[in-house]
Structure 1
């Protein structure tokens, strides 16, 4: 190498070194949500909120930096503030500026029905709720999710009423989506991607998605149609679950806010969508997303939903899919309706018949008539102890020579259920038996598998494995049984449904209610296979999904029915109607089950939704927004924390002095005995929304270990909308206070004197904590 070449090489290396040094000194930017004092703008010289928000960045960044390039969103409805990209050094400086109330790093959340209307009593002819109601007419349901597939027949606006005059939203244009995709059913659609773009930089997965309100995932299409989808005749998933597909409120309008992408849903985008939804004029917000429990002042959904509640918007959220773990329930703010998942009495049997004559019950939505081995036995293999992940059927773990032409047994876990089937198919397997583990127990979730497959319970999986261990050549066949309705106990609590008690708010029982969330059939994008896998080339207008994500829109749709029937009711009154009329027995009149045992309140809250009763509850527990502030004071939240949540400037010392003995007027009762406390009292207020001149008498089933006294024992209402108070005293039996942690359940019911026309039931849970 000559001298000039050597010098050129050295210069290049030096420049590379300098470049690396410069890159090393570039601060890492992260998205933060900056919450501001709501009155700050009035004392500033700025004429718009955006200018005011930019001024904080201008004070923080260097003079050469373009502050507008760092600003992602300006918020004014869900909260006062903005989202921006900042470094740690910059955020420390910005925190000290006047009017900055709180700073939160962007947080990622995860997304969590042909038969449901009949199961819930909505479509039972002249006896159903729909017959004597407007079916949600005039109500607007805002759905925060993965977007929408507007061409689905579930979003047809045939025979839909005109768009409400109060609607201020729009149909945002984007990739493969324009204003013509909206109609009188789907009246609005927007997408929010800035927080996601920053968090997933480089945003490689966005290339696989529609940068528009169009749904690339399917989840949002499914939830939106469950809440308020139009009636679609002859709907099914390849013949399974055939019937008329309808949302809970078929004449309600839908507004979609796309906040979830393949990598998740970011709080900066969620707050921006809630901000827009409040401004647009929705009546109901449905959020089938969430994470783990958080203090309310650090929970963007709790903060945004408080503002929505103040605007008269009912907010419904999924409880989460982390059950049966105790205290896993999320979205527990008392102004949110928190929904767990339950089962239907619709089954899709796919029986495993063993060569020794035994059979094992399983379920599947695979189109059984296409299974050419339906009557032929095949060898069953279960790959353990060899290739890593063989028992879980992970990618690359199934050697073709060991599985080709055979039925492969796969344990649940790590990868998706349908994905396991795809891996078995690619490896040459002829069929799959999917086995529940000790985590899933007897949970029955069906999928539209890409090859003949069935899911069996944990006990059945042990039976099958025992057979395989004692047989030199285990063989079996799968027999598909189509759709079977009404032969099983339902509803029961879904195994995956998150459980209470709430970690952040133990004095409020959560979840509030349960609703259908297992094997729910609803609309699906026509460009996706029913499994959602990219390799699935089949097409269907509907598919089946399970999760509290599916339960949430059921309640959102029912809230729309109630809002349509009672447009002046507050979100708290609507929630009360749903909770106090919930059922604690199944369709056989027996206690709702959680596995093999009766379900407790930490699994099902007040019980299973009953729309027929909820639309006419007789009495409601109403709550004024300021009462939540008193509740937060009672929980021990500080002045600054309460201001972050509510934007209300209060002195908790004065508030509690003025409201001695205050109890939040919640439809359920959660009493916590701490240390050596032996007695507690709670007060409640009931409002008559039934008939005038009504008398109610109280019936109490006291929790074990507690004496309960109610005063008065009769409530005499003379006119509609009259409110009356009552008080409940709880006296713990001696010795209970010494226990570490234990709980006991009961209930209190106000019964109408006229043949028990109304029964207004509140669950009670008493907890002892040492």
Structure 2
């Protein structure tokens, strides 16, 4: 009988806390074999502590007697434990000396002990390396070192955080800046667990059923494959792997419905609108998510087999997924419906499947009946992108305290060469022109404010052009004295783009230069281009810096 394997990917978590007594050790992985499920998680953790105590006890007691240090052998053993693996496999990661690792490898209950060389970096934390903010690393375009970001206060607006999480610890930071007018709280944290992966027994196959073939009578035809609450028949689902599709309802709610009906696991597939984007969820039962192409293959198999079966393979870490980076499906690609004169997306940052701090007052799914308590969860959205942008802004602001917020936009933001600056008044005028809104009572809107696309933005977006228009821009030299830039243009199809002047010479840093961009329709355009967006660009270059600005035109 044919079997169809599915893979449930789980990112392994790395932890790097240690007391002063263990800082000189190396990270070792101690493997004790597969987790048979006979012991509770607390009992497994106690076993790990006991093993560490067995190799650290004699040495620590000797140190205590000769140097009268304050720590005990048990404290050192606990401090050396970095992480306990209690699901799928039994083992732990710890800071050990070579001698201690050798002693552990000689124990009968230890299968193997090997040093962790960091070859399998956690996929969920690679976003910081991607944007050049990994601790100890520098890509040249951001400041690094002990004082990077010093004395900068960042305010983030969000729906809430869990301040007790160690992710928000200020250990190692200096005192709160005197300029801070808010409230500082000192909060203790409690023990919990990371995102819990439920597993099916290894290499055991299960019957598989498509949700649309297992619904109760009366389920609306358009949602039979959605695994919505009380839609599945326990008689048809019990003990099976159920294939559901995303769409209506919560993704984790679909898993809850499969569990309610007695299903063994869930395979959550993408409909066409979600394509290849696969989100990660803390399901309440074993499960995995697959792309549109993946679920189509699965459904073809189900429809061609009288008794389809499948199994969920053991989890493994996958890195260097291609293509990447890509814009998340749920993130707006534009055009900007509120103000078409502002091109979007504007600023993007990693925000899909990010391992992040989680409130211990809420379960990872927020579903009734989910009683799990976790310190971390896999989360997606602007709440994940915002910390990446904020961290970048901190470092940039510390390096350039005199720059305005509007200047922090180019990719090579530490040394962009030229920036497009805009003042508070510029944005008030933009609001007047765009919405007719007077945002500041001390600044009345003029009778004829500048057009919205005249905001000094590093991109140009023209809505409904049928003729020609001229746009004004001003750049500020933040590079070397005596810089000289020339412009190169890529014209949108059917339009000419003329930049005047074609070169800019700066005598000093901080000097501003203005120029115009004239965009004009050229000849007849085919009817199929009507109400279509056409893209081009112009780039200022001095041989070192290349400052590119997109030009997008909506054909009238």
TM-score for both structures, normalised by structure 1: 0.51
CA-to-aligned-CA distance 1:274-308 (integer Å, 9 cap, x gap): xxxxxxxxxxxxxxxxxxxxxxxxxxxxxxxxxxx
Structure 1 unaligned runs (5+)?
1-112, 172-178, 183-213, 215-234, 239-365, 582-612
Match of 1:666 among 452, 457, 463: 457
CA distance in 2 between partners of 1:767 and 1:146 (Å): 36
Structure 1 residue 378 displacement after superposition: 0.8
- Alignment of 1:122 onto 2:145: no
Structure 1 residue 633 displacement after superposition: 4.9
2:365 match: secondary structure: coil
| Equivalent in the alignment of 2:437 | 642
CA-to-aligned-CA distance 1:608-650 (integer Å, 9 cap, x gap): xxxxx22222211011222234434554x5xxx4325665213
CA distance in 2 between partners of 1:516 and 1:426 (Å): 35
Structure 1 residue 157 displacement after superposition: 1.2
* Distance change (3 Å), C-alpha of 1:423 and 1:117: same
CA-to-aligned-CA distance 1:706-751 (integer Å, 9 cap, x gap): 1112122222212111111121111211123976311211122212
Match of 2:534 among 744, 747, 752: 744
Please show how residues 341-490 of structure 1 align to structure 2 within 5 Å: 367=197, 371-384=199-212, 386-387=215-216, 388=219, 390-490=224-324
CA distance in 2 between partners of 1:145 and 1:717 (Å): 41
Structure 1 residue 390 displacement after superposition: 4.9
Structure 1 residue 506 displacement after superposition: 1.3
- Asked if the contact 1:663–1:683 (Cα under 8 Å) also holds between the matched residues in 2, the reply is yes
* Distance change (3 Å), C-alpha of 1:650 and 1:703: same
2:154 match: secondary structure: strand
- Asked if the contact 2:133–2:392 (Cα under 8 Å) also holds between the matched residues in 1, the reply is no
Structure 1 residue 383 displacement after superposition: 3.2
1:394 match: secondary structure: coil
* Distance change (3 Å), C-alpha of 1:533 and 1:115: farther
- Asked if the contact 1:693–1:719 (Cα under 8 Å) also holds between the matched residues in 2, the reply is yes
| Equivalent in the alignment of 2:71 | none
Please show how residues 150-169 of structure 1 align to structure 2 within 5 Å: 150-169=163-182
- Asked if the contact 2:431–2:439 (Cα under 8 Å) also holds between the matched residues in 1, the reply is no
Match of 1:762 among 516, 524, 549: 549
* Distance change (3 Å), C-alpha of 1:715 and 1:549: same
1:515 match: secondary structure: coil
Structure 1 residue 136 displacement after superposition: 2.5
Structure 1 residue 124 displacement after superposition: 7.1
Match of 2:519 among 730, 741, 746: 730
* Distance change (3 Å), C-alpha of 1:628 and 1:721: same
- Asked if the contact 1:379–1:474 (Cα under 8 Å) also holds between the matched residues in 2, the reply is yes
- Alignment of 1:617 onto 2:451: no
2:208 match: secondary structure: strand
TM-score for both structures, normalised by structure 2: 0.70
* Distance change (3 Å), C-alpha of 1:634 and 1:734: farther
2:273 match: secondary structure: coil
CA-to-aligned-CA distance 1:303-350 (integer Å, 9 cap, x gap): xxxxxxxxxxxxxxxxxxxxxxxxxxxxxxxxxxxxxxxxxxxxxxxx
Structure 1 residue 133 displacement after superposition: 7.4
Match of 2:503 among 705, 708, 714: 714
CA distance in 2 between partners of 1:642 and 1:527 (Å): 41
CA-to-aligned-CA distance 1:452-480 (integer Å, 9 cap, x gap): 11111122222211221121111111224
Structure 1 residue 375 displacement after superposition: 0.6
Structure 1 residue 138 displacement after superposition: 2.0
- Asked if the contact 1:572–1:623 (Cα under 8 Å) also holds between the matched residues in 2, the reply is yes
| Equivalent in the alignment of 1:545 | 379
2:398 match: secondary structure: helix
CA distance in 2 between partners of 1:731 and 1:132 (Å): 49
Number of corresponding residues: 422
Please show how residues 211-360 of structure 1 align to structure 2 within 5 Å: 237=194
CA distance in 1 between partners of 2:161 and 2:330 (Å): 26
- Asked if the contact 2:429–2:445 (Cα under 8 Å) also holds between the matched residues in 1, the reply is no
- Asked if the contact 1:134–1:561 (Cα under 8 Å) also holds between the matched residues in 2, the reply is no
CA distance in 2 between partners of 1:404 and 1:504 (Å): 49
- Asked if the contact 2:504–2:513 (Cα under 8 Å) also holds between the matched residues in 1, the reply is yes
2:348 match: secondary structure: strand
Structure 2 unaligned runs (5+)?
1-123
CA distance in 2 between partners of 1:680 and 1:737 (Å): 21
Structure 1 residue 533 displacement after superposition: 3.1
* Distance change (3 Å), C-alpha of 1:643 and 1:501: same
- Asked if the contact 2:270–2:290 (Cα under 8 Å) also holds between the matched residues in 1, the reply is yes
- Asked if the contact 1:742–1:767 (Cα under 8 Å) also holds between the matched residues in 2, the reply is yes
